[in-house]
Amino acid sequence: MAQVSGYPPIIILKDDVDASQGIGQIISNINACEQVVDVLRSTLGPRGMDKLIQGGDGKVTISNDGATILRVLQIVHPAARLLADIAKSQDEEVGDGTTSVVLLAGELLRQAKSFLEDGVHPRVIMSAYRKAYQLIAERLRRIAVDVAPQLSVLMSSERASEADTEAARSILRRCAGTALNSKLIAQYREFFAAIAVDAVLALDADLDLDLIGVKKVNGGSVSDSSLVPGVGFKKTFSYAGFEQQPKKIHRPKILLLNLELELKSEKENAEVRVQSAAAYQQIVDAEWNIIYEKLEKIVATGARVVLSRLAIGDLATQYFADREIFCAGRVPDADLQRVARAVGARVQTTVHDMRIEDALGTCEWFEERQVGAERFNFFTGCKEAKSATILLRGGSEQFLDETERSLHDAIMIVRRTLKYPQLVAGGGAVEMELSKYLREHSRRIQGKAQLLIAAYAKALETIPRTLCENAGFDTTDLMNKLRAKHATSEENQWVGANLETGEPHDCWENYIWEPALIRSNAFAAATEAACTILSVDETLKTETGERDAGAGLVPGHGTGGRHRA
C-alpha cells in the first residue's frame, strides 16, 4: 500500500502479502545466516564433531560434511537457503571445502553487520568485498605451488620411471589424505587415499567420474574395502534356472537390452472374444512364439552375457541356462550405462535387425562372485573405456553412507588436482597469509574501503580460528602466534595450526596439501553469497501458508524443533 500526501491510500499488494524492508531486513537475513553457520561451525577440521540428524521418515544421517548437513536440514529461510546453495555448488565443483565456504560467507556477513548498523550503505560494503576478493585471488595465483611437471608423468602416454610415477602418486595421496583427515574415516585415510588415487588413475584421460562405481556391502571390516579394476554391480533378482548359468566366462560377447523377456499377463479388464478353442490356442501360441523368436535372435548373436534394464522372466532364464548363457534382468540404469561404455556395447531396444558389430561388446573376464553376504557380477579387462568399482565394507549403514561421502570428496580432490595442478597448504595457513596480505594493502588506501578490506581480512581468519576452537586450544594465543609468524618473514607463508600440539608449524612440510582451486572457489562463492544477501533490502511473502518462512532450520521433515532467525 502506498500513500501520497493529500490523497487516499493506493492498494498495490494483496492483504495477505507480508513485506519487510530496509536495513533492518538485511540485518534480519544476516542473523538467519549466522544460525546456519553456528550449526556447521563445530564440524570444521580434523577435530570437528559430527551431526546426527533424524529425518521425518526415521532415517538417521551422521555426517560432518557441510553440503550433506544443509541438504538434510531442509532450510526454509529464503536468505539462509543461499548458504545451502553455495555449499552444494562447492561440493559439485570441487568436492571439498563445503563447510569452509559457509563459515567464510557467514563471517563476511557478520563483519558487515556492524558497518550497516553504523550507516554504511550496503553497496559500499559490496564494492569493497569484491575488491578484496580480486586482491586475494591474484595473490593466491602467485603463491600456489605448481606441481604440473611432477604429475605430467601420470597423464603422459610415454612410459616414465617407477620413481617418478611413485612420486606423482604420492602427491595425489597426500592431497586425498588431507581431505580425509577431517572425516569419520580419518584413521583409515592412507588406505582410502590410495584407493581414491588408484580409482581416478584407472580412468581414461577425460577422468569421467561416472565410470567409478561405489558399492556398499554391510559386514566385515573397513579395511576389507577394495578396488576392482572394472565394472561391478550387485546381482539382480533371479528366477529358477540361474544356478545352471555359467559364473565365469573368458572374453564373452555381451549384449545389453532395454526390453522385457517374459510372458506378460493382460492388463486389468482386458477382453478377447474368440469363437472356438482353436482360436484361443492361436492367441496363446502367438504369445509363446513372440518370446521364443526374441530368444532365438539373441542366441544367434553369439552373446554369452545378456543384461537388460527390464525383467528377464523364468522362461528366458532357463532358456539361456540351457545354452550356457548368463543373463540378468532389472539391472539399474547407471550400472547398465557403465557396462555399455566399458565394454563398447550399445543398449538395444529391439532384437530385430541388430547390427552385431555395434550391438555387442566384450571384456577380458566376466565373473560372478561372493562379497560378504551379497553376490556381485564383475566385468574386468575392459578395453573400450577404463572403469573402476570400489567395494566399501563396514558394520553399519550410517557408517557406510558417510564413508561413501568421504570417499567422494577424496576422489574429487584427486581429479581436480590432476586437472588443475596448483597446490596450497591447508591448516589455515593460506587464509592467514591472505589475511596478512589484505591488511597490508588496506593500510595503503584511504576512506571506508580501508576498514572494509580489513574486515574481509579479519573474516578470513575465521577458518584457522575455528580449527583451533574445535581442537580445544587457546584460540587467542595460537592466533597471535600465527599472525606473528606470517608477519616476520615471507618464508612463513605456509605456517598454520598444528592441531596435535596447539603450536604453529609449516603445513607444507607436513604434507597438509590441497588444490588451490578449493580455496579459490570457496572465496569466490562466499563473496558472491555475502554480496547477494547484502543486496536484498526487501522480502515479500505472498502466500499465507508460508508465514513461518522466517524459520531458520527444519531438520528432516519438521522433526527436531524449529529455530527462528
Is residue 386 very low, low, confident or very high in pLDDT (cuts 50, 70, 90)?
Answer: confident
Q: Which of 106, 93, 114 is nearest to 44 (CA)?
A: 106
CB-based burial, 265-286: b 16+ in 10 Å, e otherwise:
eeeeeeeeeeeeeeeeeeeeee
- The residue whose grid cell reads 568436492 is 95
- The model's pTM is 0.82
Is residue 563 very low, low, confident or very high in pLDDT (cuts 50, 70, 90)?
Answer: very low
**pLDDT given for residue 548 in this prediction:** 45
Cell numbers of 429, please? Answer: 595457513
Q: Is the pLDDT of residue 212 over 80?
A: yes
Q: What is the pLDDT of residues 96-132, one digit of tens each?
A: 889 999 999 999 999 999 999 999 999 999 999 999 9
Q: What does each C-alpha distance from 371 to 234, 330, 505 come to in angstroms? A: 9, 20, 44
- Asked whether the beta carbons of 180 and 189 are under 8 A apart, the reply is yes
Is residue 533 very low, low, confident or very high in pLDDT (cuts 50, 70, 90)?
Answer: very high
Cell numbers of 553, please? Answer: 532450520
**pLDDT given for residue 16 in this prediction:** 54
- Overall average pLDDT of the 419-424 stretch: 92
Q: Which residues contact 212 (CB under 8 A, 6 or more apart)?
A: 199, 200, 202, 203, 387, 388, 389, 390, 411
**pLDDT given for residue 276 in this prediction:** 77
Give the chain's mean pLDDT.
Answer: 85
Label the pairing between strands 253-257 and 563-564.
unpaired
C-alpha to C-alpha distance for 459 and 461, rounded to whole angstroms: 5
**pLDDT given for residue 184 in this prediction:** 84
Q: Phi/psi zone of residue 554: left (φ > 0), alpha (ψ -120 to 50 degrees), beta? A: beta
3 state SS of 423:
strand
Q: What is the pLDDT of residues 425-440, one digit of tens each?
A: 989 999 999 999 999 9
Q: Find the range with the poorest average confidence among 180-184, 493-497, 513-517.
A: 180-184
- Asked whether the beta carbons of 233 and 377 are under 8 A apart, the reply is yes
Q: Which of 197, 138, 195 is nearest to 170 (CA)?
A: 197
Q: Is the pLDDT of residue 529 over 80?
A: yes
**pLDDT given for residue 538 in this prediction:** 78
C-alpha to C-alpha distance for 93 and 87, rounded to whole angstroms: 10
Is residue 15 very low, low, confident or very high in pLDDT (cuts 50, 70, 90)?
Answer: low
C-alpha to C-alpha distance for 350 and 280, rounded to whole angstroms: 27
The CATH architecture annotation of domain 148-229+391-420 reads: 2-Layer Sandwich (3.30)
Cell numbers of 376, please? Answer: 556381485
HSE, CB side, 13 Å, CA atoms: give it for residue 461: 20
- The residue whose grid cell reads 603463491 is 143
Q: What percentage of the chain exceeds 70 in pLDDT?
A: 90
Phi (first) and psi of residue 51, to 5 degrees = -110, 135
C-alpha to C-alpha distance for 485 and 503, rounded to whole angstroms: 11
H or E segment to which residue 212 belongs: strand 212-218
Residues that are catalytic: 65, 98-99, 409
C-alpha to C-alpha distance for 1 and 3, rounded to whole angstroms: 7
Q: What percentage of the chain exceeds 90 in pLDDT?
A: 45
C-alpha to C-alpha distance for 189 and 223, rounded to whole angstroms: 11
Q: Which of 531, 459, 539 is nearest to 122 (CA)?
A: 531
For domain 231-380, give the CATH number: 3.50.7.10
Size of the chain in residues: 565
| Cα dihedral sign, 18-22-28-33 | positive
C-alpha to C-alpha distance for 160 and 535, rounded to whole angstroms: 54
* Position 171, amino acid: I
- Overall average pLDDT of the 6-26 stretch: 64
Q: Is the pLDDT of residue 560 over 60?
A: no
Is residue 397 very low, low, confident or very high in pLDDT (cuts 50, 70, 90)?
Answer: confident
Q: What is the pLDDT of residues 341-359, one digit of tens each?
A: 889 899 998 888 888 888 8
C-alpha to C-alpha distance for 549 and 541, rounded to whole angstroms: 8
Q: Where are the domains of the chain?
A: 18-145+425-564, 148-229+391-420, 231-380
- Asked whether the beta carbons of 303 and 255 are under 8 A apart, the reply is yes
Is residue 502 very low, low, confident or very high in pLDDT (cuts 50, 70, 90)?
Answer: confident
Q: Which residues contact 272 (CB under 8 A, 6 or more apart)?
A: 266, 283
Q: What does each C-alpha distance from 316 to 220, 335, 340, 367, 465 come to in angstroms? A: 35, 21, 22, 20, 64
Cα–Cα–Cα angle for 279, 280, 282, nearest 5°?
65
Q: What is the pLDDT of residues 234-287, one digit of tens each?
A: 988 877 778 888 899 999 999 999 988 887 655 556 677 777 777 777 777 777
Kindly report the number of other CB atoms within 10 A of residue 296's CB atom: 11
Cell numbers of 551, please? Answer: 524459520
C-alpha to C-alpha distance for 221 and 395, rounded to whole angstroms: 7
Cell numbers of 478, please? Answer: 595460537
Cell numbers of 115, please? Answer: 558497518
C-alpha to C-alpha distance for 31 and 237, rounded to whole angstroms: 52
Q: Find the range with the poorest average confidence among 58-72, 94-108, 449-463.
A: 58-72
Of these ranges, 2-11, 216-225, 261-270, 543-552, the one predicted with the greatest mean pLDDT is 216-225
Is residue 456 very low, low, confident or very high in pLDDT (cuts 50, 70, 90)?
Answer: very high
The CATH architecture annotation of domain 18-145+425-564 reads: Orthogonal Bundle (1.10)
C-alpha to C-alpha distance for 31 and 24, rounded to whole angstroms: 10
Q: Is the pLDDT of residue 503 over 60?
A: yes
